[in-house]
Amino acid sequence: MTGLADLGVEWERLDAEELIRRTQQRFGPKAVFACSFGAEDMVLLDMIARHRPPDGEGIRVISLDTGRLFPETYDLIERARHRYAIPIQLVFPDAEEVEQMVYEKGPNLFYGSVEGRKRCCAVRKVKPLDRALAGAEVWIVGLRRQQSTERAVTPKVSADPSHPGTYKMSPLADWTWNQVLDYVKQQEVPISDLHARGFVSIGCAPCTRAVPPDADPRSGRWWWETGTKECGLHSAAVPAPAAPERPGLLARMRAAREFSVAAPRDVLVL
Ligand code: SF4
């Protein structure tokens, strides 16, 4: 398997479709797309499907089934399975951990305290994601800089401190919401019925609500809390510490002298 250095490009200059195409070619199933089935992720799923190699060894698509998703999200998963000939792996939380948590704190512990909410997100999202990303070299996500102040500095590609040896790729980092909607319309991409009802950012049902058109897109998530609207999956979206190294990947880049790691964002450049 070739590394990021072999692409010989400045990632920030590539548009989303080109990023997907090159990642698919070079990394195949070593690149993992974690699809939440929001509109941004449906755009990426459509791109991945259209650039899938004939041998089927393309980007692996997974989704975190927390057990608390909207019925509309499951409907969309079914529609996506029929529209795109791509296996979609639903990743579940550890049943014993969920049982223990609910036994101790109840099914809706997230409303009781920030600590409870973070525990629920850790059990239902963060740990299953860690398991799904084991061995991956690239983690593809649908983050956009306009989604929140925490995401305003999201690079298209950066080292992910939460998953050493893995690079996080946000092909739509520089897209606006209108660009997302334009793509959906042009390519007739299926999206969640919830978007038409005012849900912009869609997560778990008990923790997501609709927002007014001019509101912060993330304000409908954990609306009863103040402060950062993140669940722990995207801690690297804020300025990150030094790049993690896994023997092989970064070493290959540096040896090849094709990339440098730009401080402070660890963006890979030519
Ligand atoms: S978003 Fe809510 S229900 Fe979903 S994992 Fe986090 S706290 Fe639990």
What structural domains does the chain harbor? 4-269 (3.40.50.620)
Q: Which atom of ligand 1 is nearest to the CA of 125?
A: 5
State in Å: Cα 204 to ligand 1 middle.
Answer: 6
183 lines ligand 1 (CB under 6 A): no
pLDDT at residue 109 greater than cutoff 90 = yes
% of the chain at pLDDT higher than 70: 81
Distance CA 223, CA 109 (A): 15
Q: Which atom of ligand 1 is nearest to the CA of 207?
A: 2
State in Å: Cα 71 to ligand 1 middle.
Answer: 15
pLDDT at 206: 96
Average pLDDT over residues 188-210: 93
pLDDT at residue 260 greater than cutoff 80 = no
221 lines ligand 1 (CB under 6 A): no
- Please enumerate in sequence order all residues whose Cβ is within 8 A of that of 205, keeping only pairs 6 or more positions apart, or say none: 68, 69, 70
Between 76 and 9, the higher pLDDT residue? 76
- Pick the closest to residue 159 from 132, 139, 142 (CA basis): 139
pLDDT at 246: 36
Question: Please, what sign has the CA dihedral across residues 11, 17, 20, 26?
Answer: negative
pLDDT at 53: 86
Report which protein residue has its CA nearest ligand 1's atom 6. 121
State in Å: Cα 105 to ligand 1 middle.
Answer: 14
Phi (first) and psi of residue 11, to 5 degrees: -60, -40
What are the catalytic residues? 231
pLDDT at residue 75 greater than cutoff 90 = yes
State the pLDDT confidence band at 18, using cuts at 50, 70 and 90.
Answer: very high
pLDDT at 4: 57
Q: Which atom of ligand 1 is nearest to the CA of 120?
A: 8
